[in-house]
Amino acid sequence: MILITGGLGFIGTHTARALLDLGESVVLVQRRAPEVTAPLAGQADGRLVVEQADLTDRAALLGLGDRHKITGIVHLAGSVPWPPGADEPVEGVRKSVAGLLNVFHAAAEWQVSRLGLASTIGVYGGVEAPSPLAEDLPLPMTAHHPIPTFKKIGELVAGHLAGATGLDVVNLRIGAIWGPLGHPRSPFFVLPQLVHAAVRGEVPDLTSPAWGANAEDGGDLCYVKDCGRAIALLQVADRLRHRTYNVAGGRMTTNGEVAEAIGRAVPGARVELREGRDPAGPGRDLHLDITRLREDTGFEPAYDTASGIADYVSWLRAGNAR
Sequence-separated (6 or more) residues with CB below 8 Å from residue 107: 73, 115, 165, 167
Between CA 218 and CA 298 the distance in angstroms is 26
For CA atoms 61, 62, 63, 69, the dihedral sign is positive
The residues pairing with 61 across neighbouring beta strands, listed in sequence order, are none
Residue 3: helix, strand or coil by DSSP? strand
Neighbour tally for 322: CB within 10 Å: 10
How far is CA 79 from its chain centroid? 13
Could you tell me if 178 and 221 are in contact, meaning their C-beta atoms sit under 8 angstroms apart?
A: yes
| Strand duo 218-219 + 253-254: pairing | antiparallel
By the 8 A CB rule, do 236 and 116 touch? no
Distance CA 241, CA 269 (A): 45
Residue-level pLDDT at 60: 95
Instruction: For each of the domains in the chain, give its residue range(s) and CATH number, in order of start.
Output: 2-176+221-247 (3.40.50.720), 181-220+250-286+303-320 (3.90.25)
Distance CA 245, CA 172 (A): 5
If you count them, how many residues does the chain have? 322
Q: What is the pLDDT of residue 229?
A: 98
Q: Which residues of the chain have pLDDT under 70?
A: 33-38, 41-44, 79, 81-87, 321-322
- Closest by CA to 114, choosing from 225, 4, 228, 226, is 4
Cα gap 23→37, rounded to integer Å = 19
**pLDDT score of 72:** 98
Quick one: pLDDT at residue 93? 87
Res 227: pLDDT: 98
pLDDT of residue 81: 64
Model pLDDT, residue 140 = 94
In angstroms, rounded to a whole number, what is the distance separating the alpha carbons of residues 223 and 284? 22
pLDDT for residue 212? 87
Beta strand residue intervals within the chain, DSSP E: 2-5, 26-30, 48-52, 72-75, 114-120, 169-174, 176-178, 218-219, 221-223, 244-247, 253-254
